[in-house]
Structure 1
Amino acid sequence: MTGKHGTEEEEEEEEEADEEEEDVRPSSPMPNMEPQSSASRAERFRFQSSPVQPQTDEQISPAERKKKDQLHQKFVRRLGGPDCLPSFNPHDGAPEVDPVAEGAASDEEEDDSPPPAPKGRAAKKAGGSKLTPMERQIMEIKNKHLDAVLLIQVGYKYQFYGEDARTAAKVLSIVCIPGKLRFDDHPSEAHLTRFASASVPIHRLHVHVKRLVAAGYKVGVVKQLETAALKAAGDNRNAPFVRKLTNMYTKATYIEDDAELELSGALEASTGYLLCLTESGAKGQGDGEKVQIGIVAVQPATGNVIHDSFEDGFMRSEIETRLLHISPCELLLVGDLSAATNKLVQHLSKGRMTTFGDNVRIERKEKSKTAAAEAHSHISSFYAGKLAATGSPEDAKASNLLDQVLKLPDDVTVCLSAMIKHLTEYGLEHVFDLTKYFQSFSARSHMLLNGNTLTNLEIYQNQTDYSSKGSLFWSMNRTRTKFGQRLLRRWVGRPLLEKAKLEERTEAVTELLDSDKSTLTYNLGSTLSQVRVDLEKALIRVYYGKCSRPELLTMLKSMQSIAVSFAHVKSPADSGFKSPILSESIAILPTMHDDVVSYLNKINETAAKKDDKYDFFRESEESEEIGEHRLMIGTIEYELKDHLKSIAETLGKKKVQYVSVAGIDYLVEVENSQGALKKVPASWRKISGTKKVSRFHTPEVVKMMRERDQQKESLAAACDAAFLKLLSDISTKYQLFRDCIQALATIDALHSLSVIAAQPGYVKPKYTDDTVINISQGRHPMVEKVLIDSYVPNDTQLSTDETRALLVTGPNMGGKSSYVRQIALICIMGQIGSYVPAESATLGMLDAVYTRMGAFDNMLAGESTFMVELSETADILKQATPRSLVILDELGRGTSTHDGVAIAQAVLDYMVRNLRSLTLFITHYQNLSRLASAFPGGELRNVHMKFTETGDQGQDITFLYEIGEGVAHRSYGLNVAKLANIPAGILDVAQVKSQELEAKIGRKKMGGVLRGIFQTLSDESTSDSAGEQVECLLNDIELL
């Protein structure tokens, strides 16, 4: 393999010299030269192995037959049996490898595939299964990382070996050359002499890495740490190139994309979070089961960290809520989980909350019995080391933040320690350096929207194709930057509870709408539109040291542009806005100007745009090491030029010039005449030639070129080191820059809310401390955007002290669910700080919105539809408060009518009488309407969705989608069946049966009411009570 780098390759090339009209032979191992491709080697093997005139079986002697059999067996050992040949087309080659890269792989590939007729040392290898030095190196690296798919740099390609090659071929649709799949000496692969392999061009590395991590694989990149020039000058010139695992990636830790902003792209369903979860303290059984759960979620691409510790019940609704809010693309599970938690995690991970593909990646870690103590010790040493390393004047502040981290609950500490260890493998542990950006999920400064509510109200995703279109976030998102979009997403999922903060936000939106401030608002929008890079992601990539030169320039130029736009703002009063949240956000933006300009002054912008590492820094800013290498290269190039005089004297010419051919420099051309060639010294080495001229390198040129190449490689390393030093310097200003970007995100989110508020039919809500919902002519914020026809508005009045519950009836498809969702969405929008779609709205501060809608079963947990219904209802009854809004849709339909009515009535009565939550209760059980009479104060009201009947027997109905007082006495299910194209014959039979059952039930009810009246009149009770009972029974007759 590489050990033969400078010997056998040169001998082979010298033997093949002058065989073509134009041939080229490198004088020394060149980094941009590559042996023949596998396809050309196979072609050579085919024709060299075949005699010019094929012999018949009768003409072949036993010795020749034996020799042919040996060659055949060798072919089978190398390339497999006949079934492998269709995947190996000598004419087509590998489809994924481009022509340039195909001709640019290193000499190691050629050594790994010797020609069919080996001689010398190669013959010894063919006779046994001894591994080459490079194969031993591959096995050593792979055995340390068996859980990852490795891309190993070999010259100017990245190679996959063994089972990794088969995996890559399947995912990337590239060719896999057959061979050994295992990395042990398994007897089943004893007949194979090399590893299966596949390759991709070096410049397409991250395209393929991204596809592999999207498929759920852990991917490692093994880079070649030596170049040919430095290797030739080093002590290990006869050993393989030094290779090392430099990067590891998974879904959540892949942040290699440049943060260029694609304004047309929607925010992904997943937010790129890696979530660590641990569970402890399981107690109880069945519906009394309780577990303690701790989580830490980190978004490596932005630096956000969320933590929480909580107790969860047997339905696991708490952890489900957090998983749906955070929407991780990767889970790290520490220790054993209970069966219920495991089932939930598995169910959600096979769902739609992902960054790239269909599944959430799951990784598990062991948890010791002393995990809490170990975690505390590990975190203490981690942060103590960080504090000692900084030595900044903010040590006291940083120490206080460290104290806050150490005061976290034990289960959160276990998760944090596991995450630090996990991300260290990916070089991303620095994300935990800045504890300023740690947030508690359950800090009750926000309205609670649990998992069911997020799903049923379509907060982030619609329930049709699970995309963002049609969701509340989609309808409200008018942001112009990615980081503003992420902030608005957090606002949508966590509405405010504090009236003061809410009014501050709505006042800012109102001021942005003010016609007197239209110029200022326009300038804000214009500035936001000019930000063409995701500054939040770019900044964290700088902090990780993973930022590219063009990306750094774009980030700094964008930040400079923003700072210059607000350079006149010296204090919040100069911003032109009265709103504190706006004026303070604008005032912080110019503070980054001086630092940004100081960094830009170090950069040569022209070179940075081209990603030119050699001229990236301005000459005055270059390091001493870079200057020394430049001087050495200049000196060598001067000596090469001066060497032309000696060459001219040798050839007897007045003047000689170097030529460059096929990428080889400093060639001396000599005419192919006998007189001219006689003057060429024997020490000169012929490199290439044509019919007219021969081209040579002198020994001095070879030596100086080698020295020049070494200096160039050292210069490249010095340039890279200087760039990393610059990134490190910028990282010291991370907190300042991050605060400025957060301020800009706040401005963007507020500007987005002002765009929504400017739409026709949107109004600023009034806020009150009372638990009240008064909406006049409210509309559904998402449905009205996708409806072709105009949306029919409706009024709503709910109050804890007056009507606090509505019993909603009406025909199927009459708009009941849309009406109750509309109320909840308007309340959520109001507490986000947005204007709402209504003529007027007065809203109280709700602490939560709970929903029980839709019918589905939980087969993984062995629970029926009805069990799921009741379990979710039980959770609501435990958690709801008088300041909550509760929506129950058709509770009790999962069982028999009698049981369903009984449960529904009991739950509704408890909610109105005891919980006192604001409640919207949808039902088809008309008997429930009688419950309203039990609340003479009007705490429960009957309302229905209006409709009109047409046809001889009222068989056709028209939905009016308006809310009206009273009860709808029929559900008109047959009308829906007709719309669903149920055959007419079946509908006719159903109509007859329906009428028969209605008549039968009506007679029974009438009989019962009449018996009640008779019994009441017969009893010896006071006339007042008897009159009340008779009046109640007469009301029942009216309902019939």
Structure 2
Amino acid sequence: WATGGPVPSEGFWEERLPGVRRSVLPPPVSVADLPSAWSRFVVTQPSAAGVLGSLAAYVRTSEPRVLVLVNPPRMHQNAGRMGLDAKTLRHLEISEPMSPGAGRGRTLLDAMDETVTPQGRRRLTSWITAPLADPVAIEERLDVVGYCLDAPGLLPKVREALKGVGDLSRLASRILARRGGPRDLGALGRSLDGVLRLRTLLNELPPGAVPSLLGDLRNSLDPLDTLRRRLGATLSDDLPVLPGQGGMLRSEAFPRLRELRALQDGALAALTALERREAEASGIRSLKVGYNQVFGYYLEVSRSQLERVPADRWHRKQTLAQGERYTTEDLTALEATILQARESLREAEMDLYEGLLKEVDAQAPSVQATGEAVASLDALATFAQLARLRRWVRPKVLDHGRIRILEGRHPVLETTLGPAYVPNDLELDRAGGRLLLLTGPNMAGKSTYMRQAGLLVVLSQAGSFVPARYAEVGVVSSLCTRMGFTDDQGRGKSSFMVE
């Protein structure tokens, strides 16, 4: 969240952060030097110039390559979203528990997280912490959830296909920032294969019955066939962690690599032949050729065999407690050949690897867009999975001032209490009955009932089915709470017991 003004003055950082060195926080970037998408945003929102200039300066200093991939800024609009402030999110325990240090399983997110991809979990979090307030958009999500439940066998197939897709947005960012490695490229290639399987599955659906939102998400899935095939054809099956470790690329895909690896293999074969030849000539059957980065290649002889060493041809290289290490003119020459071949191979492979990275760079926006579609599909499939497993029903979301819940259940507590949880009804109407006054003894469930009401509205407007026998929700523009208690519902303790 940010509010801004004109491009900050020379003393911007010192005024706001006294004592911070300028080498840590650089001077802001001028509007003219911002990325084009950012500059266009500043034209329509001039008050954002200051904060964007400062943000761009920080990103360019810490991660110069990342700035081009950062999504263009957008103005946050409350229109179309339910208003939920930080206090309400905390009181309803939507993504964070009220009690500090509470374990998992206490929040709505914990109870709902059936996602199968990292981006799906982030999208689920986003949707339940910022539900929709547009009935049309809500119905579009509900249509997809209902379709996934009604289409025979579709939901498990979609979830299985989603499991084959990695965190596309994070992979693209790591590769662009050059913070990833060969295994990130491999993960990207496998993820694009998963995207292809997912799109193929969705393309097989009857065209007339597919909800519009599901069709849009399907059309946004781009397996990037050229890049996908390129990665599959060039990357090795067993990828190293770091680029410089070698063995990243297939020889058959690059003639130059094939030639250099053949040269290296020939030199290593000659090394094996030299070891065998010297062992036979000296009579030292235990003779071994070794290598380390300090002394290079050497012949190692144990102390019991030192009298067999041909002093006229072998030259001492290192003395050990258990023996000696030697070299010969042939071994020195062969070492130079091997090291040269190894370095040439490393340089060639790094050049080709950098070329692959640049191909990914060019497709990074498409990879991110596909990742966004995958995230939404995973969140919607999670809504459907929850409805199937927990007998949730589709709410009627209308643009009126009425909320009617029959046999509603708290979505978190029902997962821990099971059949012991007692369903509750709720009815509020703007035309009459706008206020409910709850009274009862300690641990009667007053705060649970209030939270349940709020959570069912949140679920409905997030586009999810809800735990109830029947639910009718008039769109709520804002949900506000003022709770002075500090109960611990997850442990069954009322505020009286906690205090």
User: Same fold, TM exceeding 0.5?
Assistant: yes
State the distance in 2 between where 1:280 and 1:830 align: 38
**2:289 paired residue number:** 660
**1:578 paired residue number:** 210
1:690-839 alignment to 2 at 5 Å? 696-702=326-332, 704-706=334-336, 708-709=338-339, 711-760=341-390, 762-787=392-417, 790-839=420-469
TM superposition shift of 1:769: 1.4
- CA 508–645 in structure 1, closer or farther in 2 if over 3 Å, else same: closer
Kept in 2, the 8 Å contact 1:446–1:495? The answer is: yes
Work out whether 1:452 is the aligned partner of 2:87. yes
Kept in 2, the 8 Å contact 1:279–1:335? The answer is: no
State the distance in 1 between where 2:465 and 2:432 align: 26
**2:491 paired residue number:** none
State the distance in 2 between where 1:601 and 1:980 align: 61
Q: Comparing both structures, which one devotes a greater share of its residues to strand?
A: 1
Work out whether 1:597 is the aligned partner of 2:229. yes
Kept in 2, the 8 Å contact 1:780–1:837? The answer is: yes
**2:194 paired residue number:** 561
State the distance in 2 between where 1:763 and 1:643 align: 77
**1:546 paired residue number:** 179
- CA 365–743 in structure 1, closer or farther in 2 if over 3 Å, else same: farther
SS where residue 420 of structure 2 aligns? coil
- CA 488–577 in structure 1, closer or farther in 2 if over 3 Å, else same: farther
- CA 436–490 in structure 1, closer or farther in 2 if over 3 Å, else same: same
State the distance in 2 between where 1:712 and 1:503 align: 61
SS where residue 716 of structure 1 aligns? helix
Match of 1:380 among 24, 28, 32: 32
In structure 2, give the amino acid aligned to 1:833.
G
**1:680 paired residue number:** 311
Kept in 1, the 8 Å contact 2:299–2:325? The answer is: yes
Match of 1:526 among 160, 179, 188: 160
SS where residue 132 of structure 2 aligns? coil
In structure 2, give the amino acid aligned to 1:807.
L
The percentage of aligned residue pairs carrying the same residue is 23
Question: Who wins on radius of gyration, i.e. which is larger?
Answer: 1
- CA 780–656 in structure 1, closer or farther in 2 if over 3 Å, else same: closer
- CA 699–779 in structure 1, closer or farther in 2 if over 3 Å, else same: same
Kept in 2, the 8 Å contact 1:278–1:334? The answer is: no
SS where residue 120 of structure 2 aligns? helix
TM superposition shift of 1:541: 1.4
State the distance in 1 between where 2:266 and 2:242 align: 27
Kept in 1, the 8 Å contact 2:401–2:475? The answer is: yes
User: What is the RMSD of the two structures over their aligned residues, measured on CA atoms?
Assistant: 4.3
State the distance in 1 between where 2:128 and 2:61 align: 34
**1:497 paired residue number:** 133
Q: Deviations over 1:229-288 (max 9, x none)?
A: xxxxxxxxxxxxxxxxxxxxxxxxxxxxxxxxxxxxxxxxxxxxxx8x67789xxxxxxx
**1:417 paired residue number:** 53
TM superposition shift of 1:854: 1.2
TM superposition shift of 1:447: 0.6
State the distance in 2 between where 1:689 and 1:808 align: 85
Work out whether 1:461 is the aligned partner of 2:96. yes
SS where residue 234 of structure 2 aligns? coil
1:21-420 alignment to 2 at 5 Å? 336=15, 375=28, 377=30, 379-383=31-35, 402-410=39-47, 412-420=48-56
Q: Comparing both structures, which one devotes a greater share of its residues to helix?
A: 2
SS where residue 512 of structure 1 aligns? helix
State the distance in 1 between where 2:317 and 2:424 align: 91
**1:621 paired residue number:** 253
TM superposition shift of 1:792: 2.8
State the distance in 2 between where 1:976 and 1:417 align: 47
Kept in 2, the 8 Å contact 1:461–1:469? The answer is: no
Kept in 1, the 8 Å contact 2:169–2:368? The answer is: yes
In structure 2, give the amino acid aligned to 1:458.
E
Q: Deviations over 1:49-97 (max 9, x none)?
A: xxxxxxxxxxxxxxxxxxxxxxxxxxxxxxxxxxxxxxxxxxxxxxxxx
Kept in 2, the 8 Å contact 1:771–1:845? The answer is: yes
In structure 2, give the amino acid aligned to 1:584.
D
SS where residue 469 of structure 1 aligns? coil
TM superposition shift of 1:472: 1.5
State the distance in 2 between where 1:366 and 1:653 align: 68
State the distance in 1 between where 2:58 and 2:382 align: 37
Q: Deviations over 1:361-388 (max 9, x none)?
A: xx96779xxx9xx8462x43242xxxxx
Number of residues paired by the alignment?
A: 482
TM superposition shift of 1:739: 1.9
In structure 2, give the amino acid aligned to 1:548.
G
State the distance in 1 between where 2:498 and 2:285 align: 91
SS where residue 852 of structure 1 aligns? coil
State the distance in 1 between where 2:118 and 2:367 align: 16
Work out whether 1:846 is the aligned partner of 2:491. no
TM superposition shift of 1:764: 1.4
Residue segments in structure 2 that go unaligned for 5+ positions in a row: 488-493
TM superposition shift of 1:486: 0.6
TM superposition shift of 1:639: 7.5
In structure 2, give the amino acid aligned to 1:681.
D
Q: Deviations over 1:314-364 (max 9, x none)?
A: xxxxxxxxxxxxxxxxxxx956569xxx9xxxxxxxxxxxxxxxxxxxx96
State the distance in 1 between where 2:407 and 2:272 align: 87
Q: Deviations over 1:82-134 (max 9, x none)?
A: xxxxxxxxxxxxxxxxxxxxxxxxxxxxxxxxxxxxxxxxxxxxxxxxxxxxx
Kept in 2, the 8 Å contact 1:278–1:415? The answer is: yes
TM superposition shift of 1:577: 5.0
Kept in 2, the 8 Å contact 1:668–1:695? The answer is: yes
In structure 1, give the amino acid aligned to 2:373.
A
TM superposition shift of 1:800: 2.3
State the distance in 1 between where 2:306 and 2:129 align: 84
State the distance in 2 between where 1:366 and 1:697 align: 55
Kept in 2, the 8 Å contact 1:776–1:839? The answer is: yes
TM superposition shift of 1:599: 2.1
State the distance in 2 between where 1:467 and 1:594 align: 45
Residue segments in structure 1 that go unaligned for 5+ positions in a row: 1-274, 282-293, 295-332, 343-362, 384-398, 857-888, 890-974, 982-1040
SS where residue 479 of structure 2 aligns? strand
TM superposition shift of 1:617: 1.6
TM superposition shift of 1:699: 4.0
Q: Deviations over 1:169-228 (max 9, x none)?
A: xxxxxxxxxxxxxxxxxxxxxxxxxxxxxxxxxxxxxxxxxxxxxxxxxxxxxxxxxxxx
SS where residue 481 of structure 2 aligns? strand
- CA 784–409 in structure 1, closer or farther in 2 if over 3 Å, else same: farther
In structure 2, give the amino acid aligned to 1:785.
T
- CA 788–637 in structure 1, closer or farther in 2 if over 3 Å, else same: closer
In structure 1, give the amino acid aligned to 2:85.
N
State the distance in 1 between where 2:87 and 2:276 align: 85
TM superposition shift of 1:506: 0.5
Q: Deviations over 1:984-1022 (max 9, x none)?
A: xxxxxxxxxxxxxxxxxxxxxxxxxxxxxxxxxxxxxxx
In structure 2, give the amino acid aligned to 1:486.
R
State the distance in 1 between where 2:77 and 2:345 align: 53
**2:490 paired residue number:** none
TM superposition shift of 1:703: 5.0
State the distance in 1 between where 2:179 and 2:139 align: 41
Kept in 2, the 8 Å contact 1:560–1:596? The answer is: yes
State the distance in 2 between where 1:805 and 1:689 align: 89
1:993-1012 alignment to 2 at 5 Å? none
TM superposition shift of 1:453: 0.3
In structure 1, give the amino acid aligned to 2:162.
L
- CA 623–852 in structure 1, closer or farther in 2 if over 3 Å, else same: farther
